[in-house]
């Protein structure tokens, strides 16, 4: 739950100190006006910051999808196991392996 909340905040927060896309928008707007914002010293660095923020947002969305899929498939598997009246696991008898 904490990971999902943090990921959503990093993606959709309107505060540039928190959200990747808000930060990218702030720097993109400043670059369009010809302003330099710290820590960038050149326009190329401004564009690199915008690109990095967008890449970070994409990776964050990907990781959110991974976390949500793990939760979904875990819950689905648990519910399926609860519906069956017998054990759903099988154990293999131990086998001795010769020493090398």
Q: Where are the domains of the chain?
A: 2-83
Instruction: Tell me which of 72 and 93 has the higher pLDDT.
Output: 72
Nearest alpha carbon to residue 26 among 54, 62, 55, 68: 54
Query: What's the pLDDT score for residue 88?
Result: 74
Average pLDDT score over the chain: 92
Q: What residues have CB less than 8 Å from 43, skipping those under 6 apart?
A: 31, 36
How far CA 85 is from CA of 74, 79, 80, 89, 98, in Å, comes to: 19, 12, 11, 12, 39
Name the pTM for this structure.
0.76
Query: What's the pLDDT score for residue 68?
Result: 95
How far CA 52 is from CA of 21, 29, 73, in Å, comes to: 10, 15, 31
Nearest alpha carbon to residue 65 among 2, 3, 18: 3
Asked if 68 contacts 4 with a C-beta cutoff of 8 angstroms, the reply is yes
Task: Tell me the average pLDDT across 51-79.
Answer: 96
Query: What's the pLDDT score for residue 89?
Result: 78
Instruction: Tell me which of 70 and 86 has the higher pLDDT.
Output: 70
Task: Tell me the average pLDDT across 36-60.
Answer: 93
Task: Tell me the average pLDDT across 3-16.
Answer: 94
């Amino acid at each position: 739950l904490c990971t999902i909340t943090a990921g959503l905040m990093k993606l959709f927060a309107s505060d540039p100190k928190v959200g990747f896309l808000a930060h990218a928008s702030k720097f993109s707007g400043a670059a369009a006006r010809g302003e330099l914002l710290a820590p960038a010293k050149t326009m190329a660095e401004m564009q690199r910051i915008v690109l990095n923020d967008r890449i970070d947002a994409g990776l964050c969305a990907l990781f959110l999808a991974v976390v949500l899929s793990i939760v979904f498939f875990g819950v689905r598997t648990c519910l399926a196991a609860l519906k069956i009246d017998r054990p759903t696991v099988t154990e293999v008898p131990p086998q001795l392996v010769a020493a090398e």
